[in-house]
Structure 1
Amino acid sequence: MATNTREEPRSPRASVVSSEADAKMVVATSREDCQKLKDLVCQQDATTMLVVTSSSKQDPHEVAPATMHPLVAAAACRGNREELNFLLNREGPQEHPIPVSTACSHHGGGSQIFRNQVAAYSCADLEQGTNEVSLLNGVTVEGDTALHLVAANGDGEDFLKCADLIHTKNKVVLLSMEDKAGLLLSTQNNKGDTPLHCAARAGKTKMVSHLIGLSKDNNIVEELLRKENNSKETALHEAVRIGNNDIVKVLLEADPRLACFPEKGSSALYLAILQEEESIAQTLYDKSEGILSYWGPDGQNALHAAVLRSTEMVKKLLDWNQKLTSQGDCNGSTPLHFTSSRSRLNITWVIHTILWIRVPFPASLGAQEVRRLLEANPAALYQPDKCGLYPIHIAASVGNKMLVAKFIRYCPSSAGLRDSIGRTFLHVAVEKSRRNIVSFASRTRSLAWILNMQDNDGNTALHLAAQAGSLRMFCSLFVNPQVHINIINKKVQTPLDIARCRIPPGMHSEQSSEAKIHLILKQTGGRYGGHRWDHFGGKYIQREVESKELEKVKDSTQALCIGSVLIATVAFGATFALPGGYKADDHTNGGTPTLAGRYAFDAFIMANTIAFICSSIATVGFMYSGTSMVDLKTRKVYLGTAVFFMYSSVTSLAAAFALGVYMVLVPVAHKTAVAVVVTSPLVVIFTNIEIWLKMLFMHELCAVESE
């Protein structure tokens, strides 16, 4: 924004302005300058300023390109040389229009439809002064010239002749205007595409060769082939994207160094590997004699793309350029980081497992790629990214146990590598809940030296497992005698402290993982850290506000009360719809149960009665626990009692069902009756499935400790 200050001469018309005031002329040439100008006007006296604004910095003498004539566009898209020849041979506006029939026959445009079209446009064209120059310079809404349209729509003999005609006419016009910069062959549209881009994108091999031949006549071969569009891509990229190896060969034969461009941005080789065009990648390397660009977006190289595609290109790229293994992207990730980020489980492994197909397949995704990368550059295993993560950390975070084992087997010291916050791969595995990695590390004797390593906060893997509340990961670490359970972190906390903090205040289940972890540590010699108990309690065991406790009671009551009412209803109905039916009235003791007196019947009645009584007690307990008139402490007691009786009613009802079916079927289907009795306890087992599983973990833990 330019400002010019000068003293204005005194004038009668300027009497409203003080003679001592300076007139200021402010010129804004951009949107930012306009805003500054507005602020200046608001702050100062606007009568002392002359404001001049400009919407852009474009040259005012620059003329926008003309819109392409519809007849030229139609003829170019159809590849009709005769129509183009007639239109381009007109020598500007004439005083007397040429008869349509004479002109068409003289120039070869003999089609009746074309004659009608020329007649329809001729008057308007003469009024607007349409001539050969404006026809050649006309563009579509996308900025395409006539040569763009011809190049994109065909490569037959007619289209090649059309390209020749347009190029020849264009050269003649430029010579007459002494302008060498307006050659249509290298003109770019709104997207930056030249006619060569359009021909390559459309897969027109002959047209690509023809345009290259025309560029040779003008000595602009390299300039044309290396010209980039707005996406920083050459015509070679377009050929690679559509997978046309023939066009790739034509382009590289004309310019063997074309694969080196663009100098900054995604290379054609990266694009070929990303699209798994191995033959094109080989062509790029062979035709360029090994002098080509390997770069991709965001600082990646072709090897980053190859390791994710699991192709043979990894081996070829390592043969071509081993320096690719140490190059990191914008995040510092090397190709080995990319390979490590791949999970082991894939659909091939699932199919082999389910169908038991006994054919060889890779033990893990990327196993061969990893071996080749390590053989080419073992130091890549010790190269971190910008977050300080090594490849072994990445493999552990995705749960790739096979790859972690391979890294440790190849370089045992890599197991102790730490990231920027001091974590080993075991810390990362615990934080990401990768139980297979945690189990592998705890069971591998050679890794005992990393089990008690602490991160920057002083936490071991056992601290993090207690923090995560995962009983399985905790048990995997706890069973190893090399794991110390009383290590103190920088907050003076042991794993027992963390486990105690993880138990939710207020109402909670004693069978929760957090409660079990705390119980295990407490009963096996775990010690608290260096806090006073009163300070510890005030700092870590903060009671939830009463409103949240009331919400817990309310939600639990609503969910459980439905179940207890249903059980009571079923038990009540079963009492008056006994298995085996009733005796007829004309018999002795008519109306009594037919199966009365049997042991199974008596057991059925008792089980059904207990189910009804327990469910009724549970229903009453839920009613009291959901009543707002009762104080919170009493409501908790009612809720706990009701839950106990409801589980008891489920057990009794399952027993009543098994006994009732047994009584009815045993005389006629003994095996079926036994099968029903055996499977009925599954209801009880499922009701307490969490308790059974955790008891199993505890049993395994005790067995390992006894060994």
Structure 2
Amino acid sequence: MDVVALNRSLISSVNADGETPLLTATTSGHATLASFLLRCCCDLKPSETILKQDKQGCNALHHAIRRGQRELALELIAAEPVLSRALNKYNESPMFMAVMRNYEDIFEKLLDPWARMSALVCTREGLPGSAHAGAHGYNALHAAVRNNSSAIAKRIMETRPTLAREEGKDQNTPMRLAVLWNKIDVLKVLLEHDRSLGYVVSTNGTTPLLVLAAFRGHVGVAQELLKHCPDAPYCTANGWTCLHNAVSLGHDDFLEFVLGSQQLGKLINMRDIHGRTALQYAIEKCSPRMVRALLRHKDIDVTVLDNTGTDANWTLAVSTDHPKTLNWNEVSMLMLKADPADATDTCNLRKFAKDRMTEISRMNIKSLTETCTGNTSLVATLIAKITFATDFTLPGGYYSDAASDEGQPIMARKLVFKAFLISDTLAMCSSLAVAFVCILARWEDLEFLLYYRSFTKKLMWFADMATTTAFATGLYMVLAPRLLWLAIAICILSVSLPIFTKLLGEWPVLKLKFRLGRTCKSELLDMD
């Protein structure tokens, strides 16, 4: 302080970075010192010193806002409002930075002084009030949208409504960003102030707001748009509607919203530039949920042909890489139910898909065989090892006295022991048979692989049943004399395990058959 009093020229001196003492104090986080230097500058009346910008184009107000020194920022605005006009080399104004950080008090201060001093400023500088520009071509309203700050957005719309139509370098207006980022509060403010914003598209003339909302699946945004703009644009110039977009990107909730909307229900059969409806895209994605929702609509037309003459059912031919999936089969059954007259085409499609899968399988036969044999032989060997070891650790143990029965099983005369031995032997033999079949597997023969899968599946199922039976009978012998209820419970649980496992493994197919009822065609699920 004494130094400044002795040599006033120091207050306006700059260092190698082009910073004045005020800038250095601000960038270093010394808010108290910066406040003192600001008062010195005001007393000495060198306004150029306060307005000084560093090599990045930032003045003291930029740095105060960026460092969160809000009180200092307010002092700077009050002392020299012209600071609010400066843009740094990234085209960022103090207002943009303040709104980006959601500093409402600083934002208000940046607006209010110019309302009172605009005449003086315009006379002195020949320029309008505080700048609002930001990086990437954005403005302060873009920043308000980012933070979903409806209060700031409302003030901007009241004072600078033209900002709502300004595009950034990515051709996004604040409205478009509000839609893309699901900022419903700000969107509501913008539409309440100017509902015509709901009809504006970008300068390249593409992608209406409803289509953008469908792109992200923002149902709330679409509802707000239709609330203020019931006839808002819903498709691009090439006929791509918000319904097409929702289906293509898998937004089920948005799909349900469109189908239930009074304004958008008409899109159900609308075609794009390729002549394809939303139903055809849903079928191509093999999405039973979307196909089912579209087919439930009362105005759906399943007979629409695209520009190549392909109907909705044959759109599945595009997805023949996945005909073994439940989704593919369910979609084909749903279409068969919706259009029974196309049953012949459905059969032809199934044959086409099966041939395609056979061709793919032949191309990958070696890896398929290796995978099947590797997994199956591992399980079979494990079962064989368990059952073989059990033969030498019989439940109940052996006689150990010197009588004629020495070394004989204690439980040998019991019927349950015989059942244990039989089931254990069957489990070991069947699992060993599977293991040997895996060794004999032929690597280049698809027909053998199909036979191998069918044969080993049955044999492994039998081995599983026999193993659990051996386990149940073995424990029954040991527990029955003293804990009969526990022995019975273990037997029931063990014997039912293979059945439960089979039901669990086939549950998706069983659920599909139950859901489709009589319309389910079981042969479509058998693609082997």
TM-score in same-fold range (> 0.5): yes
Q: How many angstroms does 1:567 deviate by?
A: 3.9
Q: Tell me the CA shift for residue 515 of structure 1.
A: 3.9
1:296 matched to 2:134? The reply is yes
**Partner residue of 1:518 out of 308, 332, 344:** 332
Distance 1:572 1:697 in 2: 44
Which has the higher mean CA deviation after the structures are superposed, 517-526 or 324-333?
517-526
2:402 is the counterpart of 1:561? no
* TM-score when normalising by structure 1: 0.58
Secondary structure of residue in 1 paired with 2:364: helix
Matches within 5 A, 1:121-520: 160-165=1-6, 167-168=8-9, 185=12, 187=14, 189-190=16-17, 192-205=18-31, 207-209=33-35, 211-212=37-38, 215=41, 220-221=46-47, 223-262=48-87, 265-289=91-115, 291-311=129-149, 312-342=151-181, 366-385=183-202, 386=204, 388-414=206-232, 417-419=234-236, 421-442=238-259, 447-504=264-321, 510-520=324-334
Question: How many Å apart are 1:524 and its aligned residue?
Answer: 4.5
Whole-angstrom distance in 2 between the partners of 1:403 and 1:459: 26
Indicate conservation of the 8 Å contact 1:624/1:635, yes or no.
Answer: no
Cα deviation per residue 1:108-146 (whole Å; 9 max; x = unaligned)? xxxxxxxxxxxxxxxxxxxxxxxxxxxxxxxxxxxxxxx
Cα displacement (A) at 1:323: 3.1
CA deviations over 1:601-651 (Å, ceiling 9, x no partner): 95x8887677656645544444344x33xx423333234325633673586
Distance 2:162 2:368 in 1: 61
| Cα gap change, 1:669 to 1:595, in 2 (>3 Å) | farther
CA distance in 2, matches of 1:654, 1:566: 11
Aligned-partner Cα distance in 2 for 1:445–1:610: 66
In the alignment, structure 1 residue 687 sits paired with structure 2 residue 512: no
Q: Normalization by structure 2: what TM-score?
A: 0.75
Q: Partners of 2:254 and 2:100 in 1: how far apart?
A: 31
Change over 3 Å in CA distance of 1:509–1:450 after alignment to 2: closer
Would the alpha carbon gap of residues 597 and 670 (structure 1) be closer, same or farther in structure 2, given more than 3 Å must change? Answer: closer
Contact 1:567–1:649 at 8 Å: present in 2 too?
no
Q: C-alpha distance in 1, partners of 2:27/2:452?
A: 72
Q: Is the 8 A contact 1:650 1:684 kept in 2?
A: no
Structure having the higher helix fraction is: 2
| Counterpart residue type for residue 293 of structure 1 | A
Superposition CA RMSD, Å: 4.4
Matched to 1:521, the amino acid is M
Q: Write the letter of the residue equivalent to 1:242.
A: R
User: Among residues 443, 446, 471, which one is paired with 1:633 in the alignment?
Assistant: 446
Identity of aligned residues (%): 18
Q: Measure, in 1, the Cα distance between the counterparts of 2:229 and 2:20.
A: 52
Aligned-pair CA distance for 1:389: 2.7
Tell me the alpha carbon deviations over residues 25-49 of structure 1, each in whole angstroms, 9 at most, x when there is no partner: xxxxxxxxxxxxxxxxxxxxxxxxx
Aligned AA (2:2): K
Give the 3 Å change call, closer, same or farther, for CA 672–419 of structure 1 in structure 2. farther
2:327 maps to amino acid: S
Partner Cα distance (1:334, 1:428) in 2: 21
Q: Which protein, 1 or 2, shows the higher relative CO under an 8 Å CA cutoff with sep ≥ 6?
A: 2
**Separation in 2, partners of 1:394, 1:423:** 11
Letter in 2 for 1:161: D
Q: Cα 1:566–1:266, aligned 2, differ >3 Å: closer, same or farther?
A: same
**Residue 652 (1) aligns with residue 465 (2):** yes
Find the aligned partners of 1:643 and 1:477 in 2 and give their Cα distance: 42
Residue by residue, what CA displacement relative to the aligned partner does 1:542-587 show, whole Å, maximum 9, x if unpaired? 9449553433333343344323433444455566667x64685889
Change in Cα spacing, 1:198 to 1:562, as seen in structure 2 (3 Å) is same
C-alpha separation in 2, matches of 1:700 and 1:329? 57
TM-superposed CA distance for 1:237, in Å, is 0.8
Q: CA deviation at 1:236?
A: 0.7
- Tell me, in whole angstroms, the C-alpha distance in 2 between the residues paired with 1:285 and 1:622: 81
Q: 1:254 to 1:652 in 2, by over 3 A?
A: same
**1:595 and 1:455 mapped to 2: Cα distance?**
80
Instruction: Tell me which residue corresponds to 2:526.
Output: none
C-alpha distance in structure 2 between counterparts of 1:481 and 1:567, whole Å: 56
Gaps of 5+ in 1: 1-159, 171-183, 344-365, 703-707
Counterpart Cα distance in 2 of 1:623 and 1:548? 19
In structure 1, how many angstroms separate the alpha carbons of the residues matched to 2:200 and 2:421? 73
Task: Please list, as runs of the form range in 1=range in 2, the aligned pairs for 1:70-81 lying within 5 A after superposition.
Answer: none
3-state SS of 1:404 partner = helix
Partner Cα distance (2:112, 2:174) in 1: 24
Q: Is the 8 A contact 2:473 2:491 kept in 1?
A: no
Distance 1:279 1:445, change over 3 A: closer
Q: Does the CA-based 8 Å contact 1:298-1:329 persist in structure 2?
A: yes
C-alpha displacement of 1:238: 0.5
The DSSP-based 3-state class of the residue aligned with 1:451 is helix
Superposed counterparts of 1:583-598, under 5 Å: 591=409, 593=411, 597=415
Once the two structures are superposed, residues 467-525 of structure 1 have per-residue CA deviations (whole angstroms, 9 ceiling, x without a partner) of 22333333333344433333222233233223123122xxx773442344334434653
Contact 1:474 1:517 in 2 (8 A): yes
SS in 2 for 1:423: coil
Q: Which runs of 5+ in 2 are unaligned?
A: 117-128, 521-528
- Number of equivalent positions: 491
Rate the CA distance shift 1:322–1:698 in 2: closer, same or farther, 3 A: farther
In 1, the alpha carbon distance for the partners of 2:162 and 2:68 equals 27
Change (3 A) 1:294 1:655: farther
> What is the CA–CA distance in structure 1 between the aligned matches of 2:35 and 2:513, rounded to whole Å?
77
Instruction: Say whether the 8 Å CA contact 2:99–2:144 is kept in structure 1.
Output: yes
> How far apart are the structure 2 equivalents of 1:557 and 1:392?
53
Equivalent pair of 1:203/1:247 in contact (CA under 8 Å) = no
CA contact (8 A) 1:496 1:528 kept: no
Measure the CA separation in 2 of the matches of 1:421 and 1:243. Answer: 48
What's the CA shift for 1:248?
1.6
Change (3 A) 1:502 1:224: same
One-letter amino acid of the structure 2 residue matched with residue 550 of structure 1: K
Question: Are 1:496 and 1:518, in contact at CA under 8 Å, matched by a contact in 2?
Answer: yes
Distance 1:697 1:511 in 2: 16
Amino acid at match of 2:270: M
